[in-house]
Amino acid sequence: MRRLLPEPGPTDPAAELAGYRPYESPREDRPFVAVNMITTLDGRAAIGGRSKDLGKGTDTDLLLALRTRFDAVLIGAGTLRAERYGRIVRDPQARARRERIGLAHDPLAVIVSGKLDLPLDAPLFTCGGGRILIFTNHQGPRPETATSLRMVTMEGKIRQADVLRHLRQERGIRALLCEGGPHLFGQLAAENLVDELFLTITPTLAGGEAPRIIEGSLEAPLGLELLSLAEAEGELFARYRLPGPA
């Protein structure tokens, strides 16, 4: 991996994130929020209904390194169904590294779902490690899972600002990494709730029907500021800052 911007030179995901401390910058009413996504050159966010195979090894390494820097990881139910998650930080050494920088052993896995039609046989729910918090407006029982699971049932439409306020004020979450998907990112961006975007641009043309990294409308286009850019095996790893509320 080589850094192209701001200072060119050899690097790797761990070095890129060595001084990255998003948990030091929470707002009063929400955590610091970063989104991590991958796109093909023709703007597709999935191939064959999944994003897992879009990126190469460095993309995965960057994602795993990011997960060691946040209090919680936010996942939309569509992404959970498509990607079938396991424990968010599987490597015990990575969990120990989290503790050394003052984070909880496991990040809180936060899921937003209206229907509560979740893949309860996925390792995230069956492995028994880590913690899960589901936000829903479905009036149903809490799923029985081996992994510790809590549920927040909201009245009416779920606004992401309310989810983030709850995470900050009721659960003490200071930094949140959103791993998509496109509908969830669209809502967060529309409500001006995102601080940074980590975007992998993979040198692939996918064609066909697939979502883009944002689905849903924005009131106006958002202009992002490029903070850093790295490259490995033809993939570009960009980090952008989003504009704050107008």
What's the min distance (Å) between Cβ of 202 and ligand NAP? 9
Tell me if 109 contacts ligand NAP by CB under 6 A.
Answer: no
Interface mask (CB under 6 A) for ligand NAP, residues 201-220, using x and -?
----------x-x-x-----
User: Which structure tokens are listed for 68?
Assistant: 């060691």
* Out of 187, 194, 214, 237, the residue judged to bind ligand NAP by CB under 6 A: 187
Going by DSSP bridges, is the β-strand pair 225-232/32-40 parallel, antiparallel, or unpaired? unpaired
Q: Which two tokens stand for residue 108?
A: 């809180």
Q: Helix or strand or coil: residue 123?
A: helix
Least Cβ distance, residue 24 to ligand NAP (angstroms): 26
Residue 158: CB minimum distance to ligand NAP, A = 4
CA distance 223 to 241: 9
158 binds ligand NAP (CB under 6 A): yes
Residues facing residue 35 across a β-bridge: 178, 197
**Nearest-angstrom CA–CA distance, 205 and 238:** 19
Selected range binding ligand NAP among 11-19, 23-31, 37-45, 218-226, rule: CB under 6 A: 37-45
Q: Which stretch binds ligand NAP (CB under 6 A): 84-92, 94-102, 140-148, 174-182?
A: 174-182
Residue type, 39: T
Residue with token string 């229907």:
115
Question: 110 to 129, contacts with ligand NAP by CB under 6 A?
Answer: 112-115, 117
Strands 72-76 and 108-113: parallel
Structure tokens at 140: 């149903």
Angle at 82 between CA 179 and CA 141, to 5 degrees: 90
181 binds ligand NAP (CB under 6 A): yes
DSSP secondary structure, 119-151, as one string? -TTSHHHHS--SEEEEEE---SPPPP-SSEEEE
Among 76, 107, 129, 130, binds ligand NAP (CB under 6 A): 76
Q: Does residue 152 bind ligand NAP (CB under 6 A)?
A: no
Indicate whether 79 belongs to the interface with ligand NAP (CB under 6 A).
yes
* Position 49 contacts ligand NAP (CB under 6 A): yes
List of residues contacting ligand NAP (CB under 6 A)? 37-38, 45-46, 49-51, 76-79, 82-83, 112-115, 117, 158, 179-184, 187, 211, 213, 215
